[in-house]
Amino acid sequence: MSGTRRVRVVAVGVATAVVGGLAIGVVPAIVGADTLSSKVEIVANLPKGAQPTKRKPVPVTVDVLMEWDRSTNDNATTLQKTTVLFPKGSIYRGAKLPKCTFEALNNGGVDACPKGSVMGKGKASAFADTVRTTANITVVNGGKDRVFFYTTMTNPAVVQLPVEGKIRKLRGKWAYELVAEVPPDLQVVAGTPIVVYKMQVKITNKKWLALDRPPSGISVTNLLGPPRSS
């Protein structure tokens, strides 16, 4: 990537498999390394030569990759909830940019949102029963405490839903917490269970996120479970 340096941020967290509400396994998820059945990689893209400081924060774009090995999983579980803790030095600027609402997205899709509210895009790869399928994701700014992952799928049926991520500012070791829950209507579609095995998201709007110090660790906790219907 010309003119950009990529900083891999260690993701310290767990991917927890749950059946019937009981944890049956805990798998560490560390950036850049396959650990049994999961992989989490988060890359912050800084301008080449940039040195973030409190006086001069540096805008960044971010690449996120999460993968789960489904090759030997007979009782397939899927992503139900993800929690991300951002380290000190992270600056979230959602309150200063055009924002969309859940109602606008739910009723009219991304076209109903203000210009400039799209922050990035991505894709989720999954099995619909035994058939591979893909969902497209559009990351939409929701203001000071919300982000939406507008998800569209055409197989096994047409589904268009905003997944809401709640953001709150923290004190202590972490700067922000992001919590997003996958709604049941994306876990079971037209009676077919959807099992995600790969998710990629790229945050491309340079005005949304910034750093005022070199990035350190980031915590990612994924809750997995059998696909649940509404």
Rounded Cα distance, 167 and 188, in Å: 26
103-158 pLDDT per residue, tens: 999 999 999 999 999 999 999 999 999 899 999 999 999 999 999 999 999 999 99
Structure-block tokens of residue 184: 């049941």
Structure-block tokens of residue 51: 């040195």
Q: Is the pLDDT of residue 171 over 60?
A: yes
Pairing of strands 174-181, 159-169: antiparallel
50-91 pLDDT per residue, tens: 889 999 999 999 999 998 877 644 567 888 999 999 989 999
User: What's the pTM?
Assistant: 0.86
Average pLDDT over residues 194-217: 92
Mean pLDDT for the chain?
84
Average pLDDT over residues 174-190: 96
Among the residue ranges 26-40, 54-68, 87-101, 211-225, the one predicted with the least confidence is: 26-40
In this prediction, residue 140 carries a pLDDT of 98
Q: Is the pLDDT of residue 223 over 60?
A: yes
